[in-house]
Amino acid sequence: TDSISKPMFKPKDHQHLRYNPLRDSWVLVSAHQMKRLWKGQVEKQPEDNIPRVRANGEGSNWTYDSTFMFDNDFPALQPDTPDPGMIFCPVQSHKTQSLYSVMCFHPWSDITLPLMQPAEISKVIDRWADLIVELGAEYTWVQIFENKGAMMGCSNPHPHCQVCPSNFLPNEPALMQTQERVVVENEHWLVVVPYWETWPFQMLLLPRRHVLCLPDLTAQERDSLASIMKRLLTEYDKLFEVSFPYSMRWAATGSYLKEDMSHLQLHAHYYPPLLRSATIHKFMVGYEMLANEQRDLTPEQVLEKIKQQQHQQ
- The residues assigned a catalytic role are 160
Torsions phi, psi of 124, nearest 5?
-65, -45
Asked if residues 214 and 142 have their Cβ atoms less than 8 Å apart, the reply is: no
Rounded CA-CA distance 223/201 in Å is 25
Q: What is the 3-state secondary structure (H, E, C) of the chain?
A: CHHHHCCCCCCCCCCEEEEECCCCEEEEECHHHHHCCCCCCCCCCCCCCCCCCCCCCCCCCCCCCCCEEEECCCCCCCCCCCCCHHHHCCCCCCCCCECCEEEECCCCCCCCHHHCCHHHHHHHHHHHHHHHHHHHCCCCEEEEEEEECHHHCCCCCCCEEEEEEECCCCHHHHHCCCCEEEEEECCCEEEEEECCCCCCCCEEEEECCCCCCHHHCCHHHHHHHHHHHHHHHHHHHHHCCCCCCEEEEECCECHHHHCCCCCCCCCEEEECCEEEECCEECCCCCHHHHCCCEECCCHHHHHHHHHHHHHCC
Asked if residues 139 and 254 have their Cβ atoms less than 8 Å apart, the reply is: yes
Torsions phi, psi of 180, nearest 5?
-115, 165
CA proximity to 23, closest of 192, 194, 144: 194
